[in-house]
Amino acid sequence: MTVSSTPKYLRLRFSRQRRGIRQYRLAEAIGITPQRLAEVEAGRRQLEPDEYRQAMEFLHHQPILGGGVQCPT
């Protein structure tokens, strides 16, 4: 599986974890509940396109902590 074929919910989770961001912080930043974000990251629900864009923009501006979590390939 390449990064481009990795499901969005996995890319979101790995990107968040790689930056050391807690679910509640990301959920607050994009205006959803932490419970909904947990369901999204588990693959049970989806974000609206605008919410996904907001999440990725927020994460893009956070430093990467390095090591540890990598997106599966």
> 39: domain CATH number?
1.10.260.40
How many domains are there within the chain? Answer: 1
The parent domain of residue 33 ranges over 3-60
**Is 20 among the domain residues?**
yes
Query: What is the model's pLDDT at position 1?
Result: 54
Sequential pLDDT tens for the chain (73 residues): 556 688 999 999 999 999 999 999 999 999 999 999 999 999 999 999 999 999 999 999 998 886 555 555 4
- Residue by residue, DSSP assigns the chain as --GGGS-HHHHHHHHHHHTT--HHHHHHHHT--HHHHHHHHTTSS---HHHHHHHHHHHHTSPP--SS-----
> Alpha-carbon distance 69 to 12, whole Å?
12
Query: What is the model's pLDDT at position 73?
Result: 46
**Is 19 among the domain residues?**
yes
**Is 66 among the domain residues?**
no
**Is 56 among the domain residues?**
yes
**Is 70 among the domain residues?**
no
Query: What is the model's pLDDT at position 64?
Result: 85
**Is 31 among the domain residues?**
yes
pTM: 0.80
